[in-house]
Structure 1
């Protein structure tokens, strides 16, 4: 049976990979090399690579220090527009879309595209795993780094170029979003999320209650969205000793041995419509620990989708 062109296909086992090879939105540009290092590692694993197609490659090699806040914001807006269109197309083509970043400004474009692809069925939810809130606007940011703004933009707050990607509406409803592992943020970000009543599972709560119970609550929140939910993983959400390959490490994070099965639980859920892994900086990746973690996440995803997990 054929499906309408605007109806995403959920049963295709292949992953559709998108790359955001940019470090333009923050102080350190090393994350721009993350996608190419990941793709090269993937190519050495043919049993895994054969189930994956690369559908999009967005690239900008300029560092923030070379262009400054205003030009960086304009550049990210253009890059995000292209990524949003590519993400929407990948979701509608069938298969499971996965974005590899790059700095976390990628989230604004990627999730705008995924949300738009699923809009005929309603809103999507989002599990945001990150040490940071990424909920500044250009008016509250202390440094102009755009990688600190994508969640605010997806919630409809910030620069119109980012909030209006593909459509003028907010891409996420606050009551269908939650943050996990948060521990490094500014008061202005916390004030915005508090005003919007976004649920934040700070790292202290994760430690006291355990990740499994936090994920129970997270799934209840994002499960309210009629069109499914996505997962965004900023790798600095992980304890730096477990995943050192990031530009802005934050101590006392999520342990990788607990997060890996937690992510598998989220991604095995058939309501899950996309995954983003961002802020991989290979120049900081001691012993390849971060790369190995990323490969394990993707290997589990390929295996589970091929098995038709539900």
Structure 2
């Protein structure tokens, strides 16, 4: 894996309605991220945080019933430009959220460098909604759909092109909360999904190994988008949309270790850490532990 790494924080909570997740990048840094990566011999450049503008009204909805559309679109473009530059400079971009709407910008900046970018979406949710299917209007439930070219053009056209990814190049792992419109889209587009049912029956070793082999055959780079609510809330309590019955701490470490051994990842992001809802920064510390495993930390 590329030893030259750039960290970009995106302190944004505008893709949803609960405050606090904008402090996620700070919490992850405070939990020892830089020390962890430098201890693993990475050349790390922390670029700080993307500047985020705030709306006049917290619950304002604009253009098709989407909450904070303008601000999310503006932040996504800024992030896309930063990530684009780091990939051009042959550095591994590690993005820290913020809510999961930040993936719109991440993928917009990364995907232009690949013919067939693969995506591992490690999440309790599919994030495949649009204004027509979303019950909330929260953009953090839409980034995967947006990246497929589905949704408001202000979001789908971030960084001047659409779509960013192809449905056959996506693998969702850990899903256990899908809206009806998302289930329909998954079937129509043939998106590969390993729900908690498959994880329980097959085991994480088989799930992540299958996902790697599936993506190896069809992609020229792979982005990991890991939402901490993919883990069970008993282990990761500091998330905005917890769903019981999730992935365990050990399963997730194993997945990261196998991903590291595969050497297929070209970028990554860790999102939805909310310190206000957390217990003594437990979730941010867990995130740093997973990042350690992803980048080569071993017990022996």
2 CA distance for matches of 1:256 and 1:208? 18
Distance 1:65 1:242, change over 3 A: farther
The aligned counterpart of 2:20 is 30
2 CA distance for matches of 1:296 and 1:149? 27
Distance 1:259 1:113, change over 3 A: same
What SS class does the counterpart of residue 147 from structure 1 fall into? helix
Distance 1:193 1:43, change over 3 A: closer
- Superposed counterparts of 1:142-291, under 5 Å: 142-291=135-284
Contact 1:56–1:86 at 8 Å: present in 2 too? no
The aligned counterpart of 1:40 is 30
Distance 1:65 1:278, change over 3 A: farther
Give 1:302 deviation, angstroms: 4.6
Give 1:156 deviation, angstroms: 1.2
Residue by residue over 1:87-135, the C-alpha shift from the partner in whole angstroms, topping out at 9 and shown as x without a partner, is 111112123211100000001110111111x23xx11100101001111
Greater Cα shift, 130-139 or 55-64: 55-64
Give 1:74 deviation, angstroms: 1.6
Give 1:199 deviation, angstroms: 1.1
Structure 1 unaligned spans of 5+: 1-9, 305-310
What SS class does the counterpart of residue 50 from structure 2 fall into? strand
Give 1:29 deviation, angstroms: 2.0
Pick aligned residue for 1:68 from 49, 60, 63: 60
What SS class does the counterpart of residue 169 from structure 1 fall into? coil
Distance 1:127 1:14, change over 3 A: same
Greater Cα shift, 145-154 or 293-302: 293-302
Contact 1:23–1:63 at 8 Å: present in 2 too? no
Contact 2:77–2:105 at 8 Å: present in 1 too? yes
Give 1:196 deviation, angstroms: 0.6
Structure 2 unaligned spans of 5+: none
The aligned counterpart of 1:58 is 50
1 CA distance for matches of 2:37 and 2:111? 31
Give 1:63 deviation, angstroms: 7.7
Give 1:144 deviation, angstroms: 0.7
What SS class does the counterpart of residue 265 from structure 1 fall into? helix
Pick aligned residue for 1:300 from 286, 293, 296: 293
Distance 1:129 1:65, change over 3 A: farther
Give 1:154 deviation, angstroms: 0.7
What SS class does the counterpart of residue 175 from structure 1 fall into? helix
1 CA distance for matches of 2:120 and 2:282? 23
What SS class does the counterpart of residue 31 from structure 2 fall into? helix
What SS class does the counterpart of residue 158 from structure 1 fall into? coil
2 CA distance for matches of 1:277 and 1:247? 14
TM-score, normalised by the number of residues in structure 1 = 0.87
